[in-house]
Amino acid sequence: METTAVKQYTFKDFASDQEVRWCPGCDDYVILRSMQKALPEMGLKKEDVVFISGIGCSSRFPYYMDTYGMHGIHGRAPAIATGVKLANPKLSVWVITGDGDAMAIGGNHFIHVIRRNLDLNIVLFNNEIYGLTKGQFSPTSLVGQKTKSSPYGNTQPPFQPGELAIGSQARFFARIGGNNPKDMTDIFIEAEKFKGTSLIEVLQNCVIFNDGCYTKYTDKDVKEDQQIFLEHGKPMIFGKNRDKGLVLNGLKLEVVTIGENGITQEDLLVHNAKEKDPTLHQMLVRLQYPLATGIIRSYDDVTLEEREDALTAQVKSNSKFRKTDDLFFSGETYEIR
Amino acid sequence: MTPVILLTDGYIANGSAPWKIKSIDDMPEIKNNIIKEKKPNWHPYDRDEKTLARTWAIPGTPGLEHRIGGLEKDKVTGNVSYVPENHEYMTKIRAEKIKRVENCIPEIKPEYAQEGDLLVIGWGGTYGTLHSAVKQLYDEYGYKNVGYAHFNYINPLPKNTKELLSKYKKILVCELNNGQFANVLRMNFTGIEFLQFNKIQGLPFGNTELVQKFKQLID
């Protein structure tokens, strides 16, 4: 990023004048406002920020940001974003997607953009339902979930976005409740700082078609007991009384209580988001109690742009092709006289 | 600036022919409509009066931030618009923009008879067989009243197409399908009769069947 002075923006500078058309009470508003608050903290020029979306409720997001934006094709935002980023690597590129857009329609684009580790950010609005099309089950809908397309209950086991992402070699994965704007804002800022593909899963409540889907984790009364907010270098501790924590018991994470059976805070696991080996990160992602939130994985690795630049420089220095015509007239050509 | 759909077929894909490689210096320049700095009263959906092409503000250009996408847009600001009249206007102007591409493509020029009793029409990978059949008829059998037009542009059509069609008594559209191009022509030129010769066997036209068909229509 250029180091010239950047105007000091406020969240209003990133809000477009368009009427927001999400349902009243939707968590999407929280995500929108959190992003608008995070952007002024990133030190970016407004013209260097691009939001690219697919299709779905989430994907209307770019229209509400006063930045460059593209409301793209269903599931294909990562492909468009890849082109935008490679064409101009100084841009801050954000993919906005939903559970259906990312993991059903765009399943292949999703896993491959993560695998390639391009320096861009993906915000996945996971509401475990197709909202825009009025309530069909999605790849993250739970088994047994009754929807418009599964009136007797869904029979298809869901994806865990983090599990799929880390299985695709994700270097950065964070998860955050859709009703937690403060931490969400901070995570967006950290995602932007991270060099590589960062995926942020937002547990987004759909007030119309899947209301309360995360209540047991995100409600104010229970969230401290049901969520563990992970911070790099800090012990894995949670609970209203900060007396619960995680330890490793064999190959499983186990919840322990400090003060019981001789357990002290020193016995708890310390979160290392920067660890290359994703084993523990996968275990954290899969954990049902407590639900892991915060930045679960943040492992620095070579980006696709760095690999591309290195290869381009190497080929340029050795190649016999100096201009396009050299390529045109190379190989098995002949001339009829 | 508009997307271009290139139609091809098995005959083109599997055929081969020598062709002269052009130097990049001999190729026409590709000009784009990129706007590089903020101008007063600039709007994302401003259009060039002649071509109706919009300017193109790319990410990274200060002051020109805007959003594009599949939802209908206001004709000036480019914001999402649900105004019925705006949708009608935009639908028509998009069609008009494509129509005006006819000003950039060559007019169609028939081979052999420039007017007469029969115009054979083809497109795509049928050029070789149709051309040689018409040539045989014209050169060897003395049918100086047969012309051949091969269309390289389907939408928009060359702007002299109607004039061309008016110069022949019969028009035969030869296609390796069920008559799609014949229907396009009917849609564009009502009142003109388009005869069809179709083959859908996964095989190219044969010379004999073509010559026989053409003769049958003239004799």
Nearest to A84 among B59, B62, B67 (CB): B59
| Tens digits of residue pLDDT in B68-112 | 999 999 999 999 999 999 999 999 999 999 999 999 999 999 999
Q: Do A221 and A203 sit in the same domain of this protein?
A: yes
Q: Do A104 and A245 sit in the same domain of this protein?
A: no
Q: Do A261 and A277 sit in the same domain of this protein?
A: no
pLDDT band per the 50, 70, 90 thresholds, residue B150 = very high
Considering only alpha carbons, which residue of chain B is nearest residue A84?
B59
Q: Do A241 and A92 sit in the same domain of this protein?
A: no
Considering only alpha carbons, which residue of chain B is nearest residue A21?
B80
Q: What is the mean pLDDT of residues B167-189?
A: 97
Cα angle value A172/A175/A178 (rounded, 5°):
140
Q: Identify from A68, A336, A337 which residue to disrupt to test chain B contact, counting B C-beta atoms within 10 A and taking the largest count.
A: A68
Q: Is A7 on the interface with B (CB under 8 A)?
A: no
Considering only alpha carbons, which residue of chain B is nearest residue A77?
B69
In a domain, A16, yes or no: yes
Q: Do A195 and A263 sit in the same domain of this protein?
A: no
Task: Report the b/e string of A230-256 with b at 16+ CB within 10 A.
Answer: bebeebbbbbeeeebbbeeeeeebebb
Q: Do A164 and A286 sit in the same domain of this protein?
A: yes
Partners of A147 in the beta sheet?
A: A150
| Tens digits of residue pLDDT in A12-50 | 999 999 999 999 999 999 999 999 999 999 999 999 999
Q: Do A22 and A159 sit in the same domain of this protein?
A: yes
Answer yes or no: do A63 and B67 touch at CB < 8 A.
Answer: yes
Answer yes or no: do A47 and B67 touch at CB < 8 A.
Answer: no
Domain containing A50: what range? 11-234+271-306
Q: Do A176 and A300 sit in the same domain of this protein?
A: yes
Owner of token pair 């491959």: A112
Considering only alpha carbons, which residue of chain A is nearest residue B44?
A68
Can you give the pTM of this predicted structure? Answer: 0.93
DSSP A251-310: TEEEEEETTSTT--GGGSPBP-TT-S--HHHHHHHH--SSEEEEEEEE-----HHHHHHH
Q: Is A32 on the interface with B (CB under 8 A)?
A: no
Structure tokens at A53: 């979306």
pLDDT band per the 50, 70, 90 thresholds, residue B1 = confident
Q: What is the mean pLDDT of residues B156-174?
A: 98
Structure tokens at B207: 């010379």
Beta carbons within 10 angstroms of residue A117's beta carbon = 23
Q: Do A255 and A148 sit in the same domain of this protein?
A: no
In a domain, A322, yes or no: no
Q: What is the mean pLDDT of residues B14-23?
A: 86
In a domain, A21, yes or no: yes
Alpha-carbon dihedral B109, B113, B116, B117, rounded to 10 degrees? -110
Task: Report the b/e string of A166-178 with b at 16+ CB within 10 A.
Answer: bbbebbbbbbbbb
Q: What is the mean pLDDT of residues B179-208?
A: 96
Answer yes or no: do B70 and A73 touch at CB < 8 A.
Answer: yes
pLDDT of residue A2: 47
Which of the residues in chain A have pLDDT under 50? Answer: 1-3
Q: Do A186 and A254 sit in the same domain of this protein?
A: no
Q: Going from the N-terminus, what domains does chain B have, and what CATH number goes with each?
A: 22-104 (no CATH), 111-218 (3.40.50.920)
pLDDT of residue A5: 65
- Dist. CA A38–CA A123, nearest whole Å: 13
Kind plus residue range of the DSSP H or E element containing B181? helix B180-188
Q: Is A95 on the interface with B (CB under 8 A)?
A: no
Answer yes or no: do A88 and B59 touch at CB < 8 A.
Answer: yes
- Dist. CA B137–CA B172, nearest whole Å: 15
The domain tally of chain A equals 2
pLDDT of residue A4: 57
Alpha-carbon dihedral A308, A309, A313, A314, rounded to 10 degrees? -40
Cα angle value A85/A91/A97 (rounded, 5°):
65
Q: Do A201 and A222 sit in the same domain of this protein?
A: yes
Q: Do A146 and A22 sit in the same domain of this protein?
A: yes
Confirm whether the ipTM is greater than 0.85. Answer: yes
Chain B contacts to A (CB-CB under 8 A): 18, 21-25, 58-71, 79-80
CA of B38 vs chain A CAs: smallest distance (Å): 12
pLDDT band per the 50, 70, 90 thresholds, residue B185 = very high
Q: Identify from A1, A51, A63 which residue to disrupt to test chain B contact, counting B C-beta atoms within 10 A and taking the largest count.
A: A63
